[in-house]
C-alpha cells in the first residue's frame, strides 16, 4: 500500500495554504513562497498565479546541496539557507521533521522579523501536519 | 595526465547513483532524498541535485557527476553539462519505452555528445531480453546520425562492467580529440 503523496493530500495542501497565507499577511517583503516536498513537488504556493513552476524543484535542489555540505562538514543539521542577490533574496526553511520545506522569495534581504515570520509559518505547518 | 568530467544522465530508476557508487574511489557526495510520490514511481529515493564521485584511471583523473533523472530538475542538466566532456546515458530495459528515454536524453545532451563522447548503458537487460537493444541503437543513430554511439548492456552495481563502460567512453573522447587535432 502506498501513502498519499503530500502534494496530493488535501489535508496537507490545506494546512500549507493556510501557513503561507498567514506568512504573506505578516511579512511585507515576501514576493512569492512555496511549500514543497523534499523531492521538489509544490504543495501550495503564493501567489497562486505567476509563481515560477520551478521554484519548488530549485528549492529542493538547494536544500539537498546544503544538506550535503552540512553532512560533509559534520556541522549538525540544516536549519535554513539564505541566498542574497542584488535584487532580492531566497530563504529555504525546513518544516519541523517533515520531508517538507518552505521557500520564500523576498524583494530585498530579509531582516530578523521577516525570518521570524518564515520560521513561524514553518512551525505552524509542522504543527498542522496530519499525524501518521 | 588528463582530467575528465563525465555526466551520468537517464531517467529515474536507471541506476545512475548506483553506477557512480560502484565506480567512485571516494565517498560519493549525494543529494538523494525520499521519493514522496511512490504512486507515480515506486522507488524509495530520488536525486534532486547531483551525485559526485571520483576515480583515478592512472594517469587520468575522472570526475563523475550524476544529474537528476526527472525533467523538473533540468536546470541542473544545464549547469553540469557545460563543463562535461563525456556523457553516459543509462536506461533501464524494463521501463516502458526505454528508447523514448534514450531519445529524450540524447536530444537534451546532443551538444555534449557531439563535442565530447557518449555511450549508452542499458541496465536490467536480463529482465527484458527483447529487441530493446536494436531499438536503442536505432534511436541513438536517429538522434546522432553523424557518429557511432556504443550501446552496452550493464549492471550498474558491477564495478568492472561500469569501468568497461567508462573506459569505452574515454577511448571515444580521446579518439575524437586526436582526430580533431590531426585535422587542424
The C-alpha torsion from B96 through B102 and B107 to B108, rounded to 10°, is: 80
> CB A61 to CB B75 under 8 A?
yes
B137 contacts: CB under 8 Å, gap ≥ 6: B149, B151
Alpha-carbon Rg of chain A, whole angstroms? 14
- CA distance linking residue B134 with residue B99, whole number of Å: 10
Alpha-carbon Rg of chain B, whole angstroms? 16
What Cα–Cα distance (Å) separates residue A93 from each residue in A29, A34, A52?
16, 11, 18
Percent of chain B with pLDDT over 90: 75
Closest chain B residue to the Cα of A67, Cα to Cα: B31
CATH of the domain at A28: 3.30.450.30
Helices (H), chain B: 16-23, 74-81, 98-108, 110-115, 132-143, 159-183
A73 contacts: CB under 8 Å, gap ≥ 6: none
Residue A51: what pLDDT? 65
Q: Is residue A71 domain-resident?
A: yes
Domain enclosing residue B46, as ranges: 3-183
Q: Is residue A80 domain-resident?
A: yes
Number of domains composing chain A:
1
User: Per residue in B105-131, pLDDT tens?
Assistant: 999 999 999 999 999 999 988 766 678
Q: Is residue A132 domain-resident?
A: no
User: Per residue in B141-182, pLDDT tens?
Assistant: 999 999 899 999 999 999 999 999 999 999 999 988 888 889
- CA distance linking residue A95 with residue A6, whole number of Å: 13
Chain B interface test: which of A5, A43, A61 (most B C-beta within 10 Å):
A61
Number of domains composing chain B:
1
Domain enclosing residue A113, as ranges: 6-127
Q: State chain B's maximal CA–CA distance in angstroms.
A: 54
Which residue carries 517538507 as its cell? A100
CB B118 within 8 A of CB B149: yes
C-alpha cell at B87: 556523457
Residue B16 has pLDDT above 90, yes or no: yes
User: Per residue in A82-99, pLDDT tens?
Assistant: 999 999 999 999 999 999
User: Per residue in B32-52, pLDDT tens?
Assistant: 999 998 888 888 999 999 999
- CB-closest option in B34, B38, B49 to A65: B49
DSSP B174: H
Chain A interface test: which of B33, B50, B78 (most A C-beta within 10 Å):
B33
Q: Is residue A17 domain-resident?
A: yes
Q: Is residue A106 domain-resident?
A: yes
ipTM, 2 dp: 0.84
Which residue carries 525546513 as its cell? A94
- CB-closest option in B39, B42, B48 to A40: B48
Amino acid at each position: 500500500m502506498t501513502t498519499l503523496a503530500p502534494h496530493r493530500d488535501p489535508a496537507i495542501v490545506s494546512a500549507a495554504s493556510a501557513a503561507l497565507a498567514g506568512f504573506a499577511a505578516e511579512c511585507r517583503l515576501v514576493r512569492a513562497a512555496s511549500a514543497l516536498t523534499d523531492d521538489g513537488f509544490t504543495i501550495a504556493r503564493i501567489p497562486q498565479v505567476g509563481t515560477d513552476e520551478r521554484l519548488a524543484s530549485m528549492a529542493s535542489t538547494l536544500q539537498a546541496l546544503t544538506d550535503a555540505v552540512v553532512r560533509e562538514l559534520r556541522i549538525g543539521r540544516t536549519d535554513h539557507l539564505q541566498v542574497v542577490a542584488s535584487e532580492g533574496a531566497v530563504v529555504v526553511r525546513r518544516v519541523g521533521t517533515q520531508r517538507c520545506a518552505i521557500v520564500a522569495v523576498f524583494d530585498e534581504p530579509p531582516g530578523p522579523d521577516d525570518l521570524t515570520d518564515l520560521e513561524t509559518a514553518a512551525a505552524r505547518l509542522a504543527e498542522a501536519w496530519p499525524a501518521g | 595526465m588528463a582530467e575528465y568530467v563525465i555526466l551520468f544522465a537517464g531517467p529515474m530508476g536507471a541506476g545512475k547513483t548506483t553506477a557512480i557508487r560502484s565506480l567512485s574511489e571516494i565517498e560519493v557526495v549525494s543529494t538523494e532524498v525520499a521519493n514522496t510520490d511512490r504512486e507515480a514511481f515506486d522507488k524509495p529515493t530520488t536525486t534532486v541535485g547531483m551525485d559526485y564521485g571520483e576515480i583515478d584511471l592512472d594517469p587520468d583523473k575522472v570526475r563523475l557527476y550524476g544529474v537528476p533523472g526527472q525533467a523538473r530538475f533540468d536546470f541542473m542538466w544545464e549547469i553540469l553539462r557545460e563543463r562535461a566532456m563525456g556523457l553516459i546515458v543509462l536506461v533501464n530495459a524494463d521501463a516502458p519505452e526505454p528508447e523514448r528515454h534514450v531519445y529524450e536524453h540524447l536530444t537534451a545532451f546532443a551538444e555534449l555528445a557531439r563535442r565530447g563522447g557518449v555511450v549508452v548503458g542499458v541496465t536490467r537487460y536480463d529482465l527484458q531480453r527483447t529487441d530493446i537493444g536494436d531499438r536503442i541503437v536505432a534511436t541513438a543513430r536517429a538522434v546522432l546520425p553523424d557518429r557511432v554511439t556504443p550501446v552496452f548492456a550493464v549492471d550498474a552495481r558491477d564495478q568492472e562492467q561500469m569501468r568497461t563502460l567508462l573506459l569505452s567512453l574515454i577511448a571515444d573522447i580521446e579518439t575524437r580529440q586526436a582526430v580533431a587535432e590531426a585535422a587542424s
